[in-house]
Chains A and B, each alone.
Chain A
């Protein structure tokens, strides 16, 4: 009865004019029905009714029957829900119409979904799940509550439901989803299904959600699929195997041989998938895949598909640096490919491969550079960008290429595309050397003046970082550099105040010869009242103020400084910088008083040169005498009593309002200065016109004070090393580690902040450290060296608190005070400067442009270098590549090495035979696969092998090392340090593999 009324209802409501949706053939009228409906549903008058759609029906019909239907519906929801359920399309339409606002609509829809998803009817459930996917995917609503329901839908026999369920699962599941354990059997069932699409769905899902357990449990199924007859399934299995390896490295032992077999498949799609997998694997640890080089070579030569060629090139880019003979062999085909191909993507890959890994092959590099130039002048911004990118790779080894393309680079600095601009800026900076730094900086500063704020600061930042690299390595003329800094800070868009501030102070501390110029630049900055209004410059000004106070003895006119430091517009400064201004004013004042009273009327110039004494000695010592003349030029207006009186008045006038400042620092310093002025004032006023003896008595006191304060201020400040703290010897009674012993257990739970928060201001290092979260793959649980790695990790993160290893212990007893310049000079400058001096004297024409030698830059040895972060081994990769190596090298060891070396010509055959053997072996594996005992047995045998080989390896180690030393002209960039610990991994195979190629 009720069912017939439903049908009639539908007929009433159906709109006959409605155009049927042909694309999305949903044949029954039911699907159309609710579409019409949601208009009512959303109308505001009905919004508050609990079950609006049914009410609407009753309004239309006004029959008691439908009312009863309504009631019966409330008790048994499944049918009505499925009938009147909103489809995905309805949901989307409703969202787009937005009659009640997006958020409200979504929360309503979610409410419905929560109800529907509990339905026992799988169609209803799956539709609800699909809707939920939509909301989760595009509107980012949490769908974790539906995890179990998704599994329920997954168990449906219908393909359409399965598809939706898999979609939902791969969208929402992650490693900590609680129902993840329950999915294993579903996946297994579908992986062994006869329907290839079901297999594909579950493979797809596995690739996304695999964790250690899933990967381990499903390895046998994936292994079977690797040799499936259906190409469609097989290539998918190949692609997924990569994820399985990542999660569960032991699966390599099972699957790897079959994967390798697929390399010899002739179907391009399978080949593409396999090569793709290997290119990913080789990225992580290329050395393990060297034995497969012959196969890859064949593919490279034979391949007709660009997709495959690109991947193979990626593999060779990784392998070639490890084995020069392989590189010899491969470089020609790559060049051929480069000449022949019309596809830009392949061409670019060739170019990149050559410039990254074949940079010793002159002809290949020339060809690549030719192609790069074509890219650079191309209209297409993409090619231009990639050309610049390739150029930046070449730059590290062949700088001539960059300077050859200088014009293009400079031109692209004004490209409309910010990415291209930045890339070319990087390249221009790569060209910088001590000969052209002035020239290039000039060009760049001009560009900075013209360009938009963002790029302007990019330019300034890169100039600053390049010039300050390695303690101002490339700067010879510091006077020029300091004035450049001044110039840069005046550029309107400049926001690099902080960096400029640091460099001003740093240079002031480190380079004595530049101080007069520094003071001059500081004066220019301080004296300009317009600069005070620019908040970006405040940091620079604070540095300038500090310089003016600290090195006031080099100033031509200290009085001018006083006026600049106390000018009214300083009220615009933030209090912290205000305080620096006041303190500097204090220093300048003391200096003025000192010259006036203590030196008894002598001119400032004399005092300045007097204070030079010590420093002149030093510069003479270094063989530079031109600085003396330089130092004495800064004489100027003599300081008279009159001017001092004016000065004191000025100070009182400027600072008395600050006594009421809200900032403690400002108030304190202002009060200090005023107190000092009060002390001095009496004497200064007296001496101007009162009795001699009275003033003399007081004058003595005042002079004492002045001398005292002046002495305090004239103490030289030296640079302090970053690790100075670490060098302080630990007192005998103190055991720092005592109570920290169980720190690890406490901190184990707490997630430590990622290491890049501990940067030391070296942006390049930051880049290395900032790894992406997706790369941080969980470590294998059964790690032996867990505790040591924890320690290493800790050291890496908190390197600051560790004593520098090795050296520090030796010098810790007699570490010089941080600011003792003489000793620092002893420590390093003597040695390094001697070397430099001899080098200069030997090659006198090397720097013809510079009239004066480079001034001394105070360095602290081993301290100014980057704090070296302890590299941590990636345990996961290790276990993965270890497994791969076991398979590849282990199987090769089956053949007696002697036979191989005896028969160099039949090597191809030998290889083939070997494959046969491995095939047989792998078949054995299939038979009793799945139970872990076989695997263990296998491991065991490997273990034996290993033990046996250890001896050999040790014997060979010696010769290997010698060989390496002799062939050191081939750069082995690979971090072989990791491997050195494990004797197995010192691969004697390197001498064997390439034989296939020769």
Chain B
């Protein structure tokens, strides 16, 4: 299974972390520090696997972002590479040629998409189109809710309410 997913920029900034196994906050910082030291220093054209604490970290660089997933020793590394690529493609489809800034400003969206893809550390949805559809459906749910709250009349009504109180 996948133990965690990390997105780290080339400068070592963390862009996304998702933990499927239990790690305390302290361990998380330590893990990230260790791994960014391990991965960011590796040159291009080397293999995408790193052994780490008896586990294996599969990473792949897309533009300035490193996508890392940590797996068990006997998991299939190539499969994980495919999952990473799959995730990137879904992101790309969702944001329309995704760039790091998209992920910075919509960090929660990146999470929600990842949640559609993986659950409990296992791949859940191998179809890009389905993921896109599911994410869109949930977005529309969110949007309708938001419109309700943020429409101007609503706010005025609310304000009037407080004023009268």
Most buried by A among B23, B79, B134: B79
Query: Does A680 sit within 8 A of B, measured CB to CB?
Result: no
Q: Which of A233-241, A488-496, A838-846, A888-896 sits within the interface?
A: A233-241
CB-nearest residue of chain A to B138:
A197
Asked whether any CB of chain B lies closer than 8 Å to the CB of A638, the reply is: no
Q: Secondary structure at chain A's binding surface: helix, strand, loop or mixed? A: helix
A381's closest neighbor in chain B, by CB? B47
Q: A163-B112, A344-B78, A386-B77 are in contact. Are A773 and B23 (CB under 8 A)?
A: yes
Cα–Cα, bound, A28→B49 (Å)? 47
Q: From A272-280, A696-704, A897-905, give the one contacting chain B.
A: A272-280
At the interface, yes or no: A134 with Cβ under 8 Å from chain B? yes
B47 touches A349 (CB 8 A): no
Please state if A307 and B119 are interface contacts (CB–CB under 8 Å): no
With A26-B150, A140-B29, A283-B74 already in contact, the answer to whether A89 and B105 are too (CB < 8 A) is yes
Contacts A26-B150, A78-B162, A175-B22 known; A133 to B108 CB distance under 8 Å? yes
Interface size on A, residues (CB 8 A): 85
Residues of A within 8 A of B29 (CB): 140
Chain B residues near A123 (CB, 8 Å)? 149
Whether A653 is near chain B, meaning CB under 8 Å from some CB there, is no
Least CB distance from B134 to A in Å reads 7
Q: Nearest Cβ distance between residue B42 and chain A, in whole angstroms?
A: 8
| A309–B23 CA distance with the chains assembled, in angstroms | 31
Please, what's the 1-or-0 string for A1-25, where 1 marks a CB less than 8 Å from any CB in chain B?
Answer: 1110011000000000000000111
Cβ B124 vs Cβ A348 within 8 A: no
- Asked if A160 meets B79 with Cβ closer than 8 Å, knowing A76-B165, A174-B24, A770-B53, the reply is no
Q: Which of B3, B15, B119 has the most CB of A within 10 A?
A: B119
**A92-B105 in contact (CB<8A):** yes
| Chain B: CB-nearest residue to A77 | B162
Considering the complex, which residues of chain A in the window 104-155 have a beta carbon less than 8 Å from any beta carbon of chain B? 123, 130, 133-134, 136-138, 140, 142
Chain B residues near A272 (CB-CB < 8 A) = 123, 126
* A204-B51 contact given A243-B120, A310-B76, CB 8 Å threshold: no
Contact of B1 with A280 in the complex, beta carbons under 8 Å: yes
B63 at the interface (CB under 8 A from A): no
Q: Which residues 67-119 of B have a CB within 8 angstroms of A?
A: 72, 74, 76-79, 81-82, 95, 104-108, 111-112, 115, 119
Q: Which residues of B contact A232 (CB under 8 A)?
A: 134
User: Does B53 lie within 8 Å of A772, measured CB to CB?
Assistant: yes
CA of A772 to CA of B73 in the docked complex: distance in angstroms?
A: 12
For the complex, give the distance between the alpha carbons of A385 and B138 in Å: 41
B54 touches A772 (CB 8 A): yes
Indicate whether A67 reaches chain B with its CB closer than 8 angstroms. Answer: no
Question: What is the minimal beta-carbon distance from A110 to any residue of chain B, in angstroms?
Answer: 15
Distance between B108 CB and nearest chain A CB, rounded to angstroms? 6
A163 partner, pick from B48, B78, B138, beta carbons under 8 A: B138
Find chain A residues with CB under 8 A from B21 CB: 774
Q: Is the CB of B108 within 8 A of A273?
A: no
Of residues 6 to 28 in B, which have CB atoms within 8 Å of A's CB atoms? 13-17, 19-25, 27-28
Of all chain B residues, which has the CB nearest A776? B22
Flag if B162 contacts A79 (CB, 8 Å): yes
Asked if A208 is an interface residue, CB under 8 A from chain B, the answer is yes
CA distance A420 to B45 in the complex (A): 12
- Whether B108 and A92, one on each chain, are in contact in the complex, defined by CB atoms closer than 8 angstroms, is no
Whose C-beta in chain A lies nearest to the C-beta of B158?
A: A79
Chain B residues near A418 (CB-CB < 8 A): 46
User: B20: which A residues are within 8 A, CB to CB?
Assistant: 207-208
Q: Note all chain B residues with C-beta closer than 8 A to A134.
A: 107-108
Chain A residues within an 8 Å CB radius of B142? 159-160, 163
Most chain A CB within 10 A, of B49, B82, B120, is at: B120
Q: Is A83 an interface residue (CB 8 A)?
A: yes
Name B27's closest neighbour in chain A (CB-CB): A773
- Report the bound CA distance from A243 to B105 in whole Å: 32
Is B120 within 8 A of A2, CB to CB?
no
Q: Per-residue CB proximity of A402-416 to B under 8 Å, as 1/0?
A: 000000000000001
Minimum CB–CB distance from A579 to chain B (whole Å) comes to 39
| With A385-B49, A772-B55, A774-B22: A3-B108 Cβ-Cβ less than 8 Å | no
CB-CB < 8 A to B152: which residues of A? 7, 28
A79 touches B159 (CB 8 A): yes
In contact, A3 and B160 (Cβ under 8 angstroms): yes
- A440 within 8 A of partner (CB): no
Asked whether, in the complex, the Cβ of B124 is within 8 Å of the Cβ of A28, the reply is: no
- For residue A56, which residues in chain B have a CB less than 8 angstroms away from its CB? none
Give the complex CA separation of A207 and B124 in angstroms: 13
- Residues of chain B within 8 A of A159, CB atoms compared: 138, 141-142, 145
Task: Please give, as numbers and ranges, the residues of chain B lying within 8 Å of A763 by CB-CB distance.
Answer: none
Max count, chain B CB within 10 A of own CB: residue among A280, A310, A774: A774
Residues of B within 8 A of A772 (CB): 53-55
Choice from A3, A171, A204, A305 contacting B163 with Cβ under 8 Å = A3
A76, B161: Cα distance in complex, Å: 12
Residues in chain B near residue A273, CB distance under 8 A: 122, 124
> A545 — which chain B residues lie within 8 A by C-beta?
none
Determine if B159 and A164 form an interchain contact, defined as CB atoms under 8 angstroms apart: no
Q: How far is the CA of A3 from the CA of B115 in the complex (A)?
A: 40
Q: A140-B28, A204-B115, A243-B120 are in contact. Are A92 and B104 (CB under 8 A)?
A: yes
Known: A3-B159, A773-B27. A174 touches B53 (CB 8 A): no
Q: Which residue of chain A lies nearest to B96 when distances are taken between CB atoms in the complex?
A: A23
Residues on the A chain within 8 Å of B141, using CB:
159-160, 197
Q: Does A253 contact B (CB under 8 A)?
A: no
A156 nearest CB neighbor, chain B only? B145
Q: Are the CB atoms of A239 and B46 closer together than 8 Å? A: no
- The answer to whether B47 and A76 touch across the interface, beta carbons within 8 angstroms, is no
**Quick check: is A384 within 8 A (CB to CB) of the other chain?**
yes
Alpha-carbon gap, A235 to B119, bound state (A): 10
**Inside 8 A of B22's CB, which chain A residues have their CB?**
174-175, 773-774
Among residues of A, the one whose C-beta sits closest to the C-beta of B43 is A416
Q: B53 and A240: CB pair below 8 A?
A: no
Q: Is A753 an interface residue (CB 8 A)?
A: no
Chain A contacts for B1, CB-based, 8 A: 280
Nearest-CB residue, chain B, relative to A174: B22
Chain B residues within 8 Å of A611, by CB: none
Given contacts A243-B120, A314-B74, contact A25 B143 (CB under 8 A): yes
Interface residues of A in 760-782 (CB under 8 A from B): 767, 770-774
Cα distance, A89 to B107, chains bound together (Å)? 10
Docked complex Cα distance between A639 and B122 (Å): 78
Q: Which residues of A841-880 are within 8 A (CB) of B?
A: none
0/1 interface trace, chain B 34-48, chain A, CB 8 Å (1 if under): 000000000101111
- A476 in contact (CB, < 8 A): no
Asked whether A167 is an interface residue with its Cβ less than 8 Å from the other chain, the reply is yes
A160 and B156 in contact (CB under 8 A), knowing A269-B125, A416-B43?
A: no
- In the assembled complex, the Cα of A788 lies from the Cα of B103 at a distance in Å of 52
Interchain CA distance A235-B105 in the complex, whole Å: 31
A203 at the interface (CB under 8 A from B): yes
Known contacts: A276-B122, A349-B76. The answer to whether A28 contacts B151 by CB under 8 A is yes
Known: A96-B104, A164-B108. 20 other contacts (CB 8 A): A3-B160, A26-B146, A30-B150, A137-B107, A138-B16, A167-B112, A171-B19, A204-B120, A236-B119, A236-B124, A239-B122, A269-B125, A269-B126, A280-B1, A314-B74, A349-B79, A382-B49, A386-B77, A419-B50, A770-B53
19 contacts between A and B (CB under 8 A): A2-B159, A3-B160, A134-B107, A136-B25, A164-B108, A208-B120, A232-B134, A269-B124, A269-B125, A269-B126, A277-B122, A305-B126, A307-B79, A310-B79, A381-B45, A382-B49, A416-B43, A416-B45, A417-B47
Pairs of residues from A and B, 3 with the lowest C-beta to C-beta distance, nearest first: A345-B78, A774-B21, A3-B159
Residues of chain A having any CB pair with chain B under 8 Å? 1-3, 6-7, 23-28, 30-31, 76, 78-79, 83, 88-89, 92, 96, 123, 130, 133-134, 136-138, 140, 142, 158-161, 163-164, 167, 171, 174-175, 197, 203-204, 207-208, 232, 235-236, 239-240, 242-243, 269, 272-273, 276-277, 280, 283, 305, 307, 310, 314, 317, 344-345, 348-349, 352, 381-382, 384-386, 416-420, 767, 770-774
